[in-house]
Amino acid sequence: QGVLSDLTKVTGLHGLDPVVLVLVVGIVMFTLGFAGCVGALRENICLLKFFCGTIVFIFLLELAVAVMAFLFQDWVRDRVKEFFENNIKSYRDDIDLQNIIDSLQRINHCCGAQGPEDWDFNIYFDCKSESKSREKCGVPFSCCIPDPAQKVVNTQCGYDIRKKSKSQWDDQIFVKGCIHALEAWLPRNIYIVAGVFIAISLLQIFGIFLARTLISDIEAVKASNAF
């Protein structure tokens, strides 16, 4: 309950509770599974056509989303940038959000949306803020380049780092923004992404093929019985 409630802050869905999305997906999956299973057992053509049509619709929807994401890359990049900036602002407001951002920065070796300067969006890290925060003009510890010799994480490693010249940042923190890191991740893992997409597509096509074959067989039997 706590994690799902906090996802509203993470995703910025403007009041749309993620639990509702989980329920909707669950209802769709149950309905689709029920139609396919009962339709096959009872040889009900209406349920089988519903099952087949829904899978076709989902497949076309996935294809459309992939094509739109490719064609409108700048729009997607702007939405991702907005997502990061909004969550940077709320970094200290929610521990779950904080852990997600820290994990993202640590795993991808990145800092901020476009770079470390994005932490000025957060009142605690803002260099221009009148806040007396000790973290002022710093970055979270997840932006720091880890020291292999340190067994304990130094959570204060990012303090005052942005008061130094940018030439000194390279040795202490990640200077690449997380958007650029994610953009660089896709080409490196394009075969994995393509493989997953193809596997899911083949499963859906196989389900459509089985449903259409069963419908054809049922119709053929009914036609032969009619004569």
Give the model confidence (pLDDT) of 166-215 as tens digits: 888 988 999 999 888 888 887 778 888 889 989 999 999 999 999 999 99
**CB hemisphere CA count around 169 (13 angstroms):** 20
Q: What is the pLDDT of residue 208?
A: 92
- Given a cut of 80, is residue 53 above it in pLDDT? yes
- Given a cut of 80, is residue 106 above it in pLDDT? yes
Over residues 139-144, mean pLDDT: 93
Q: What is the pLDDT of residue 30?
A: 95
- Given a cut of 70, is residue 18 above it in pLDDT? no
- Given a cut of 50, is residue 114 above it in pLDDT? yes
Over residues 32-58, mean pLDDT: 93
Q: What is the pLDDT of residue 167?
A: 85
Q: Residue 160: left (phi > 0), alpha (psi -120 to 50), or beta?
A: left
Separation of alpha carbons 87 and 104, rounded Å: 12
CB atoms closer than 10 angstroms to residue 23: 11
Q: What is the mean pLDDT of the chain?
A: 85
**Alpha helices per DSSP H over the chain:** 2-11, 18-42, 45-71, 73-89, 95-108, 178-188, 190-226
- Given a cut of 60, is residue 153 above it in pLDDT? yes
pTM over 0.85: no
Say if residues 90 and 97 touch (Cβ distance below 8 Å). yes
